Structure formats: C-alpha cells, structure tokens
Amino acid sequence: MIQTIVLHLDGSANSATRTELAIAIAREHGSHLIGLAPTGEVAAPIEFGASLVDPGYLIATRQYLRKCAQLLCEAFDAQVAAAALGSHESRVVESGHAAGVIALARAADLTVIGQFEPRAAADRVERDLPEQVVLGCGRPVLVVPYAGRHRAPARQVLAAWNDSRESAHAFAAALPLLRRAHGVTVLTQREAPARPLPTQDLAAWLRHHGVANVRFADEVAPIGVGDLLLSRAADLDADLIVMGAWGQSRLKEWALGGATRSLLQQMTVPVLMAH
C-alpha cells in the first residue's frame, strides 16, 4: 500500500507537472501527500574565507532561502487545494535538498523527485539529487522526467528483472502500481549463448498478488540495459519503468551502475527505482 508520499519541491520549470502526477497517485491510492521544500545549504562565497564573511550576509541568505521555500509550499498547497485532495501537508526544512529528502523519504512509502535538467538555471539543488536519494533512502523513489506530461495511474508498465536483490526490492515496491496497470511487461536480458533467466516463480508471485495481464520478454541484445529499456518503453508506449538501482557507497561517493545512470540521464517516462 502507498499510504504516504513525499514530493520534493524545488521550483524547477516542471515542478507543477510533477506535483500534478503526485496528486494523481495520492488520489488513486488514498495516500497522504507531503510537499517538502528544503531551503538548501548556505555556503560562504568561494573567494572569501568562511571566517571573513559578514554574519549578516549568512543570516540574510538563510532568510531569503527560507522565504523561497515557503513560497514553494504555498504554491503546492494552492495546487493541491484546487485538486481537492483530502490528506496533505507542506513542510519547509532547513537543510540541503538531498539530506532533507532522504531523511523524510525513509519514513514514507514513495518519494517523487525530478530528473536533473542540464539546461536549468544553477541553484542550490544538488546535480546528483536523484542518485543520492535513490541510493540513500532505502525506499522506492519515482523519478519524473523534466520534459513532458505523465499520466497516473500507469497503464503500461515495463519492469526490468535480473534476479537480483535490487530487482526483488523494486518489484515489491511497485506492487500497488502494477496491480492497477492495464499491462505489465517483464523484461530480461542475456548474452548468447546464456540461457534465459527462470521466471516461473516470479510469474506465480505476481499472480498471487493480483497483478494481471503480465507478459515476459527475454531479450538477447548487444546494447546496455538502460538503452534497451528506453527502446522497449517507446515500442510499448509504456508510461512507467520499474527497475532496481544498482550502486554502492564508496568513501562517501555514490557509484552507480551503468543502467541506472543511463536511465537517469536519458529517461523519457517516469522510472520507479529501489536500491
């Protein structure tokens, strides 16, 4: 069940579209929706030492960032009120965006964030926010592309399976969405002459959980998993991709697998990830 959804508010160009999608998911599942607006961290100008910065500058900057976050919450509250969603709230947190989202995401069923937009104006949102949240919160994360409009509930779902812990986590997290889909395609990939992955137990598990209209597609393709998923998503007119996020923490640096990184950079439909 999806009881609580966290929506990251960042003031980006597609923030209202992302909010619209989160509202639709919350309405479909009867969820409580939390709009979260981190202020971002205040850093001293790089050309000055921190000890030389006027304290008044830091205070004024914090006040400005908090006001910006409050305005984001007000816009969220107005959009949710217009949509007549029953259960919702907004919060301002004084922290970096990644840290603030991760902290609240760990106590939620689903977190909705936006894909990083390379052409966006520079701000205090970390460029690798999706990677940090996906790998750091331990909960499912729905990453929404910065371009286009996206429908909910998802009608056609493409789900990647490689018999890993991450895949199992992603499929379990996606169950509420898979149950409501009109069609689910489970994609496996292998290199010839390797045998196809066994999927009989997975098929039975999905059936026992009420996921209907499932088909399995075994691919022998010379391209990466990320590129293959994007290609098949276009072929199927899929409106959601489900996959495990492969990565590890290494001396506080996030190292992502190629498939995860490829999707986060080139995604055209929302991607539900779990690590």
Looking at per-residue confidence, does 194 or 242 come out higher?
A: 242
Print the domain residue range for 51: 4-144
Pair 128, 205 in one domain: no
Looking at per-residue confidence, does 50 or 217 come out higher?
A: 217
Residue 67: DSSP 8-state: H
Tell me the pLDDT band of 149, cut-offs 50, 70 and 90.
confident
pLDDT of residue 134: 92
CB 226, CB 266: distance < 8 Å = yes
pLDDT of residue 52: 52
Structure tokens at 44: 């001293």
Peptide bond into 130 cis (omega under 30): no
Summarize pLDDT for 198-257 with one digit per residue, the tens. 999 999 999 999 998 999 999 997 777 888 899 999 999 999 999 998 654 433 333 445
Pair 99, 212 in one domain: no
Q: What angle do CA 67, 69, 73 make, to 5 degrees?
A: 115
Pair 94, 180 in one domain: no
What is the β-pairing status of strands 110-114 and 141-144? parallel
Counting the structural domains of the chain, the total is 2
Percent share of the chain, pLDDT over 90: 61
Question: Which residue's entry shows tokens 């691919």?
Answer: 219
Residue 251: DSSP 8-state: T
Pair 208, 160 in one domain: yes
pLDDT of residue 151: 75
Pair 88, 36 in one domain: yes
Pair 123, 238 in one domain: no
Helix-then-strand count for the chain, H and E: 8, 12
Task: Classify residue 43: in a domain, yes or no.
Answer: yes
pLDDT of residue 208: 97
Task: Classify residue 200: in a domain, yes or no.
Answer: yes
pLDDT of residue 55: 67
44-48, 50-54, 116-120, 129-133: which has the highest mean pLDDT? 129-133
Structure tokens at 271: 């991607």
pLDDT of residue 53: 55
Burial 57-85 (b: 16+ CB within 10 A, else e): eeeebeeebbebbeebbebbeebbeeeeb
pLDDT of residue 249: 44
Pair 82, 161 in one domain: no
Task: Classify residue 173: in a domain, yes or no.
Answer: yes
Torsional sign, CA 233, 236, 242, 247? negative
Task: Classify residue 151: in a domain, yes or no.
Answer: no
Decide: pTM greater than 0.85: yes
Pair 11, 100 in one domain: yes
CATH code at 240? 3.40.50.620
- In the chain, the amino acid numbered 103 is A
Pair 133, 168 in one domain: no
Query: Average pLDDT of 113-131?
Result: 79
Task: Classify residue 264: in a domain, yes or no.
Answer: yes
